[in-house]
Amino acid sequence: MIKPIQWRNRTLILLDQRRLPRDVRYLRLKRVADVAGAISTLAVRGAPAIGIAAAYGVVLGVCAQMRDGAARRNARGLRRALDRDIKTLRATRPTAVNLFWALERMRRRFQSLPAAATGADAAAALEDEAVEIHREDEARCEAIGRWGATLLPKRATVVTHCNAGALATGGIGTALGVVYAAARAGKAVRVFADETRPLLQGARLTAFELKQNGIDVTLMADSMSASLIRKIPVDAVIVGADRIARNGDTANKIGTYALAINARYHGVPFYVAAPASTFDLTLAGGKDIPIEERNPDEVTGSNSQRIAPAGIRVFNPAFDVTPAELITAIITDKGIIRPVRVRTVMSVIGGKRKS
């Protein structure tokens, strides 16, 4: 299984997902600015993967300070530089909460160091923390897969949207992690993947990933899902998430909301798969989730070719919010949230396991 994020000798190695599926190329990053650029331009994407990459970015920032000698001269300067690096990384993507969760965790780890800690101590501690964030996400993906696989029959047809697989996480994925776990359990799973306009993550990434891993996958345009669900028996729609509010309202790639409406109308279970780190319990509901608006060129052009009239106005939100009432269950590493409401979210994510 291709790994989108690797950490070797204090170098962040990222699979450049902008080039898939035609080219499999890796970026070797050693500067915070390069990590921020990779996140903002979608070289690395997927909420868990963004958080992991950002955590390693903080380590690179401290290492750069040590190379410049600032860490040895002035511990206060190191703290200012770390704050500046975190601010740079926070500004890359506004919706995916794993980014902010990981950066805050890195800040807390730095603040926990004793006053006498050296720059080398800080670099080592932050590196340990980033590696642990990465390892934890791998374990979370496995747990999500195990919980989710129990929801699928022995022969299952699944519809998914965007990419929530190994390419988007530190492990086997969230939504696709359920598919992989079910396949490992001996279940026959076929997947219909939405192409996911305008950036075609389903076509470029999900279809690529599933095909690489021997999963039966069929690609379709986003507008075809309702016709598909009406035509053939579909056992589940499974998607990932970028931020989930306290009441279960879920932000995910644009087009998810429409897919949820289709599923509800046709009586198909609609599942969200996400780790506990994707929940933002400070937000009461989906109306409070910030939605990223991306470059109009993503809609007006394709493969550097203009497909729309020059000067046309464009509406291009990267995400939409699916109301909790349309979600059959949320599959997390801590258990399955069902029905989706404040009480059940808090009982699972708040520490008490509930399946």
Buried/exposed code over 268-290 (b: 16+ C-beta within 10 A; e: otherwise): bbbbbbbbbbbbbeebeebeebe
Q: Which helix (H) or strand (E) holds 236?
A: strand 236-239
Q: Of 85, 222, 242, 333, which residue is the catalytic one? A: 242
Q: How confident is the model at residue 305 (pLDDT cuts 50, 70, 90)?
A: confident
pLDDT of residue 74: 60
Residue type at 129 in one-letter notation: E
Length of the chain: 355
Residue 353's pLDDT band (boundaries 50, 70, 90)?
very low
> Which of 114, 89, 187 is CA-nearest to residue 146?
187
Burial of 317 (0-12, 13-18, 19+ CB in 10 A): middle
Is the pLDDT assigned to residue 125 strictly greater than 90?
A: yes
Residues 120-125: what's their mean pLDDT?
92
3-state secondary structure of 85: helix
Residues facing residue 253 across a β-bridge: 319
Residue 210: pLDDT over 70: yes
| 3-class DSSP assignment, residue 243 | strand
Task: Give the residue with greater pLDDT, 335 vs 71.
Answer: 335
Average per-residue pLDDT for the chain = 94
Q: What structural domains does the chain harbor? A: 5-141 (1.20.120.420), 145-349 (3.40.50.10470)
Catalytic residue at 242? yes
Q: Count CB atoms within 10 A of the CB of residue 27.
A: 17
For the residues of 100-156, what is the DSSP string, one character each?
HHHHHHHHHHHHTS-TT--HHHHHHHHHHHHHHHHHHHHHHHHHHHHHHHTTS-SEE
Alpha-carbon gap, residue 253 to 218, rounded angstroms: 19
- Give residue 352's pLDDT: 45
What is the distance in angstroms between the CA of the first residue and the CA of the last residue of the chain?
A: 29
User: How, if at all, do strands 329-332 and 188-194 pair?
Assistant: unpaired
Lookup result for tokens 């933002």: 280
Entry pTM? 0.93
Q: What pLDDT is recorded for position 355?
A: 34
- Which of 41, 49, 53 is closest to 11 using CA atoms? 53
Q: Whose structure tokens read 């598909």?
A: 228
